[in-house]
Homo-oligomer: A and B are copies of this chain.
Amino acid sequence: MNSDWRARLRERGYRLTPQRELVLGAVEELGHATPDQVHAEIRRHSAAVNLSTVYRTLEVLEEIGLIRHTHLSDRAPTYHSIGGREHFHLVCRNCSTVTSVDSGEVADLTGLLGERYGFTPDIGHLTIFGTCHHCDGATSEGSVE
């Protein structure tokens, strides 16, 4: 599964380029990252990759299912590699802490939406904003969104 990405690209008719390897590597290393952060991370230890290439590449990598994006803030989207299981995110508006939750945890929700609304949710894209227990009551400084 280490070099699976090479096959994935080829299968779909995409070419293998050093830029694509660098972008994927940066996403995996950063965990959750905006296009700009990916760009900066690459620059830290490699030759520069153009920002527009980063955008185009993230799109391709998501297309072939190696990474996904969600919205952890009102600003830029964040990308993360799909390390095994599908998950969604909880984001605290107060302290900005991000918690990943396995999609299995919300099987009930998925079932309910399916039965009652005929709707199949894309759990991997989901981010739920709210307040974590450390911040209940104490609404303070820098908040996300």
Name A residues whose Cβ lies closer than 8 Å to a Cβ of B.
71, 74, 77, 90, 92-93, 99, 101, 105-106, 108-109, 112-113, 116-122, 125-126, 128-134, 136, 145
Determine the distance from Cα of A73 to Cα of B126 in the docked complex, in whole angstroms.
13
Contact status A99-B119, CB under 8 Å: yes
Instruction: Name the contact of A99 in the complex, choosing from B117, B120, B122, B134 (C-beta under 8 A).
Output: B117
Q: A105-B112, A108-B109, A109-B108 are in contact. Are A130 and B121 (CB under 8 A)?
A: yes
Determine the distance from Cα of A56 to Cα of B133 in the docked complex, in whole angstroms.
31
Determine the distance from Cα of A130 to Cα of B129 in the docked complex, in whole angstroms.
18
Contact status B125-A113, CB under 8 Å: no
Q: Which secondary structure characterizes the binding site on chain A?
A: mixed
Count the copies.
Answer: 2
Besides A108-B109, A120-B132, A126-B128, 14 other A-B contacts (C-beta < 8 A): A71-B71, A90-B113, A90-B119, A90-B121, A92-B119, A101-B113, A105-B112, A106-B109, A108-B108, A117-B132, A118-B132, A118-B133, A119-B132, A122-B128
